[in-house]
Amino acid sequence: MRQRNWRLIIVGLVLLAVAVGFFLFAQTDMAPKSNDPVAMMRTVGQVSGGVGGISIIMIIFGLIGRKA
């Protein structure tokens, strides 16, 4: 039987929340003040997507778990 890795799941959820929060913060507060908001949001989207992808992989590995 496999045992879930709760530390990995919790860190993955926190990273996912940070990625979404960073994207929304950049969209509402930083983009209107930028000289080139399209380029800035492209970069923010790539970073947020990368962190979000890593966090989803961490959540999946945590749910799969390890052998007891």
Q: What are 6-58's pLDDT values in tens digits? A: 999 999 999 999 999 999 999 999 989 999 999 999 999 999 999 999 999 99
**Average pLDDT, rounded, for the chain:** 95
DSSP state of 5: -
Domain spans of the chain, in order of start? 7-67
Listed in order, strand segments (DSSP E) in the chain are 2-3, 66-67
The residues near 64 (Cβ < 8 Å, ≥ 6 apart) are 2
- The pLDDT confidence band at residue 67, using thresholds 50, 70 and 90, is confident
Q: Output the CA–CA distances (angstroms, integers) from residue 35 to 30, 32, 39, 54, 61, in the order listed.
A: 10, 8, 9, 30, 40
Crossing angle (nearest 10°) for helices 37-64 and 6-25: 170
Write down the pTM of the prediction: 0.87
